[in-house]
């Protein structure tokens, strides 16, 4: 057994094993490691641990030392970030390489070109179905760019990871975000997850089975252990029945209940009690338990239980009616009219009783009232109406 650490050079990149020597490295710490290009900065993803020597790729490069603050890449100038001029040079080199490939009629598809910072080396990535003899192509490219040329064949998954894009789920490709290495995916995983076996629905942009089928397989296997199989004979709160469909993500089961509606009913996995798992005949000696025992299986989720504990909210009209019912009733006061005689307001200087309507006043007061209906005040004299000015005087 050999003690190693795992580290990666960039987020989402591939993990490499290094020999820590006498150093103790914790996950997340920066280290300076030896590479073919010289010492480079990397981040530890897994601390000191033992592995079998047969699983290691030789030679195992050592860790030089722990990184300091000065060794960390600056946020304003990351070590692996390229300038617009470098990217423009790489695009021009890739276009020139495609022209050379078309001239020689080689069956290869160019993907990307990487130029070293000093411009002394150019690395071209390409995909091809078969082996390609590109020795003459390398000579042409070397005489054109006057640099060291290297061509590297990659797979379709690596091509998709380099180019990037948006998957059918609306998120960026998993291989571009967090997958550091590709794992084999089989069609059996799609069957376990109860997915359609249509290749167009379970394949990614690279044409291979989607990577999410692999890292989601563990969650589905755990759900399959808890949920009943299709065609199982089960007991539900509404009676015994047969399972017609299983939703592993929501952990809900559709059951066609006996002596009930033809349409299957949906139940939570907690409400199901399996009598016979999988296909088969109904047990001959089976006797359905009483309704009280089956009703005890019913499960109420916390959200629905909280809504039942509170009183149902009424409409706005009902709230206003209840609010008005609690207020004390008030008799509306009638505002006297400005026009008319006997029912007009009283004299400003008179008593309050003279402001009442004529039919409500005593006979003596009605006899003293003038013919025009205007009551006489006892303290301030007779009320005179204000003279209205002619139209031509109003604008002056």
Query: Residue range 180-202: average pLDDT?
Result: 87
* Max mean pLDDT range (274-283, 314-323, 365-374): 274-283
CA dist 44 and 56 (Å) reads 17
**Residue 127 and residue 189 in one domain:** no
Residue 77 maps to a domain: no
User: What Å distances lie between residue 270 and 220, 294, 296, 303, CA to CA?
Assistant: 17, 12, 11, 16
pLDDT score, position 253: 92
CA dist 312 and 136 (Å) reads 81
pLDDT score, position 377: 45
**Residue 195 and residue 239 in one domain:** no
Name residue, tokens 């022209």.
Answer: 99
Query: Domain ends where: 223, 239, 267?
Result: 223
Contacts of 359 (CB under 8 A, 6+ apart): 342
Residue 41 maps to a domain: yes
**Residue 233 and residue 298 in one domain:** yes
Residue 286 sits in a domain whose CATH number is: 2.30.30.30
Query: Domain ends where: 125, 154, 183?
Result: 154
- Tokens describing residue 381: 């004299």
Task: Return mean pLDDT, the chain.
Answer: 77
Query: Domain ends where: 172, 200, 223?
Result: 223
The count of structural domains within the chain is: 4
By residue range, what is the domain housing residue 106?
Answer: 84-154
b/e map 285-295, b = 16+ CB within 10 Å: eeeeeeeeebe
CA dist 356 and 362 (Å) reads 10
Residue 56 maps to a domain: yes
Residues linked to residue 273 through DSSP beta bridges, in sequence order: 235
**Residue 243 and residue 185 in one domain:** no
**Residue 208 and residue 247 in one domain:** no
Q: How confident is the model at residue 317 (pLDDT cuts 50, 70, 90)?
A: low
The proportion of the chain whose per-residue pLDDT surpasses 90, expressed as a percent, equals 7
pLDDT score, position 61: 84
Residues linked to residue 265 through DSSP beta bridges, in sequence order: 255
Residue 115 sits in a domain whose CATH number is: 3.30.300.20
- Tokens describing residue 45: 């993803």
- Tokens describing residue 223: 């759900």
Q: Which of 41-45, 108-112, 195-199, 327-331 has the lowest mean pLDDT?
A: 327-331
Residue 73 maps to a domain: no
- Tokens describing residue 88: 């423009």
pLDDT score, position 125: 92
**Three-state SS at 96:** helix
Residue 317 maps to a domain: no
Residue 193 maps to a domain: yes
**Residue 8 and residue 26 in one domain:** yes
User: What Å distances lie between residue 370 and 341, 342, 348, 349, 356, CA to CA?
Assistant: 10, 10, 16, 16, 15
129 contacts 107 by C-beta, under 8 angstroms? yes
Give tens-digit pLDDT for 154-180. Answer: 888 888 888 888 888 888 888 888 787
**Residue 211 and residue 264 in one domain:** no
> Cα angle at 248 between 229 and 223, to 5 degrees?
80
Stated pTM of the model: 0.52
Residue 188 maps to a domain: yes
Residue 323 maps to a domain: no
pLDDT at 314 over 60: no
């Amino acid at each position: 057994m050999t003690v190693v650490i795992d580290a990666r050079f960039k987020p989402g990149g591939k993990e490499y094993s290094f020999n820590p020597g006498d150093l103790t490295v914790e996950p997340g710490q920066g280290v300076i490691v030896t590479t073919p290009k010289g010492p480079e900065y990397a981040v530890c993803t897994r601390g000191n641990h033992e592995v079998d020597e047969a699983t290691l790729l030789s030679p195992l490069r050592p860790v030089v030392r722990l990184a300091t603050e000065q060794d960390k890449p600056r946020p304003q100038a990351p070590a692996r970030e390229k300038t617009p001029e470098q990217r423009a040079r790489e695009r021009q080199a890739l276009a020139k390489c495609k022209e050379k490939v078309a001239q020689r009629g080689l069956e290869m598809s160019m993907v990307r070109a990487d130029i070293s910072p000093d411009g002394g080396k150019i690395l071209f990535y390409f995909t091809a179905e078969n082996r390609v003899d590109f020795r003459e192509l390398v000579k042409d490219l070397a005489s054109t760019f006057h640099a060291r040329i290297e061509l590297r064949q990659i797979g379709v998954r690596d091509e998709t990871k380099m180019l990037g894009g948006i998957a059918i789920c609306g998120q960026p490709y998993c291989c571009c975000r967090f997958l550091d290495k590709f794992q084999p995916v089989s069609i059996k995983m799609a069957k376990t997850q109860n997915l359609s076996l249509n290749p167009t629905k379970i394949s990614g942009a690279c044409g291979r089975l989607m990577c999410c089928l692999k890292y989601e397989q563990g969650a589905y296997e755990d759900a399959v252990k808890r949920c009943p199989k299709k065609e199982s004979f089960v007991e539900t709160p509404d009676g015994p029945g047969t399972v017609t469909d299983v939703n592993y993500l929501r952990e809900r089961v559709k059951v066609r209940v006996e002596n009930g509606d033809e349409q299957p009913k949906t139940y939570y996995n907690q409400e199901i009690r399996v009598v016979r798992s999988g296909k088969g005949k109904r047990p001959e000696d089976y006797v359905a338990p009483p309704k009280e025992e089956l009703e005890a299986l019913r499960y109420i989720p916390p959200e629905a239980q909280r809504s039942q504990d509170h009183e149902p909210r009424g409409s706005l009209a009902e709230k206003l009616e209840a609010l008005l019912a609690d207020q004390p009733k008030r008799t509306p006061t009638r505002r006297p009219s400005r026009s008319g005689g006997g029912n007009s307001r009283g004299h400003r200087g008179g008593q309050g009783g003279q402001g009442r309507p004529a039919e409500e006043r005593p006979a003596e007061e009605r006899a003293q009232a003038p013919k025009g209906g205007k009551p006489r005040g006892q303290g301030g004299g007779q009320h005179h109406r204000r003279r209205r000015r002619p139209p031509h005087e109003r604008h002056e």
